[in-house]
Amino acid sequence: MRKRNRHTRAVLAGTTAAVLGLAGCAALGGGDGSGPSGTGARHAKPSASAAPLWDASPSSVAAVGDSITRGFDACAVLADCPEVSWATGDSADVKSLAVRLLGPAKAATHSWNHAATGARMADVPAQMTQAVRDRPQLVTVMAGANDACRASTAAMTPVADFRAQFGDALRTLRRALPKTQVYVSSVPNLKRLWSQGRTNALGKQVWKLGLCPSMLGDADALDPAATLRRDTVQKRVQDYNAALKEVCAKDVRCRFDGGAVYDFRFGTGQLSPWDWFHPSKNGQARLAELAYRGVTGRTP
C-alpha cells in the first residue's frame, strides 16, 4: 500500500477507466525448443494448422499493471483495495480470475499481485522481474491508461516507446520462464469514460482536481480544440492496443484480449463512486468475467 500522498498523485495522474477485458502472446527470442523459436523449429517446417500453445487451466497466476489491477478507489477513497482486484482478489463479490481458475483456497496461496497504482508501461518490466520470482504459470498484464492520461497530449508516451517497453517486459519473463503464459488486456476506452462520467455533476468536480487532464480536462467543453484533444488521446490508446497486439502475436504463449476491455460498453455502475474513473467493485467483476472468458476460450 502506498502512502496517501502517493495515491493522490496517482489519481491526479490518472490511471484507468472503469472498463474491462483481456489477451494473447509467446516466446520473444530464446525459446525452449517447444515453440517456433526452439531448436527443433530450425529443422522442420511448422504445420500450417499448428495453433499457438495455450493451457486454459494454469495452476498459478501473477498480475502486473496499474491501479485497475490494484483495485484503487473501489473500496474507499484514495486507497488500493487488492482484495477486489479482477486478477487476483479474494472478494466473493468479484470472483477474480485467479479464484475462477484455481478456486478460493488455492488462489490464496498461488496468486500474486505486483501491479502498482500510477504505473505506466515503463514500470512493467520491473514488475515482471518481481513476478518471475513467483514462477507463475500465467501472468496478466493491464497497463497503458496512465501512458495516455497525462497533463497534456504532448506528454503521452510515444507509441514506439510503449511498444519497446512491453517487449522488454516479455523478454524479462521469457529469459527466466519460457513456458509461462501471458494474458494481455487492451487499454480501456478513455473517451467512453469521459462520455459516461460527464453526466455526473460530482464526478466532473472530482475530475477538476486533475484526473487524466488529457482526456477529462474541461469535461463540458465541446469546442474544436477540446474535441481534437480528446480525439488525439483516443487515437493514442488505439495505437497502444495495436502495439500490444503486435508484440503479443510474436510470442506463442501470449494472448491479447482482442480489444475486449477497450470495447466493453461500461456504464456509471462500473465506475468508482469516489472518482468516476477507476472501476467499482462491479466494474472489477466485469473485468474478471472478461478475463476468464479470454483465458479459457478457444480464442480471446
Helices (H) and strands (E) in the chain, counts: 13, 6
Q: Is the residue at 149 inside a domain?
A: yes
Q: What grid cell was written down for 130?
A: 518481481
Q: Which residues lie across from 139 on neighbouring strands? A: 62, 182
pLDDT of residue 18: 35
Establish if 246 belongs to a structural domain. Answer: yes
CA 111 to chain centre: 16
* CATH (domain of 9): 3.40.50.1110
Q: Report the pLDDT averaged over residues 56-71.
A: 98
Instruction: Give the CA angle between residues 76, 78, 82 to the nearest 5°.
Output: 65
Binning pLDDT at 50, 70 and 90, where does residue 11 land?
very low
Q: Is residue 48 part of a domain?
A: no
Share the mean pLDDT of the chain: 86
- Residue 254 grid coordinates: 501470449
pLDDT at 53: 83
Q: What is the pTM of this model?
A: 0.82
Least confident of 109-113, 134-138, 206-210, 224-228: 206-210
Nearest to 169 by CA among 127, 223, 213, 217: 127
- With bands split at pLDDT 50, 70 and 90, how would you rate the model's confidence at 132? very high
Q: Indicate the range of 33-47, 94-108, 201-215, 248-262 predicted with least confidence.
A: 33-47
Domain enclosing residue 109, as ranges: 4-31+54-296
- The pLDDT of residue 41 is above 80: no
Give a yes or no: residue 41 inside a domain.
no
pLDDT surpasses 50 at 100:
yes
Count structural domains, the chain: 1
| Cell matching residue 295 | 483465458
- How are strands ordered across the β-sheet holding 24-25? 24-25, 254-256, 181-184, 138-142, 61-65, 111-113
In a domain? residue 39: no
Please state, as a whole number, how many other Cβ atoms lie within 10 Å of the Cβ of residue 161: 15
Residue 47 located in a structural domain: no
Contact 284, 92 (CB under 8 A): no
Does residue 44 fall inside a structural domain?
no
pLDDT of residue 299: 80
Q: Is the pLDDT of residue 244 over 50?
A: yes
- State the first-to-last Cα distance of the chain, in angstroms, to the nearest integer: 32
* Residue 179, in any domain of the structure: yes
Q: Are 206 and 163 in contact (CB under 8 A)?
A: no
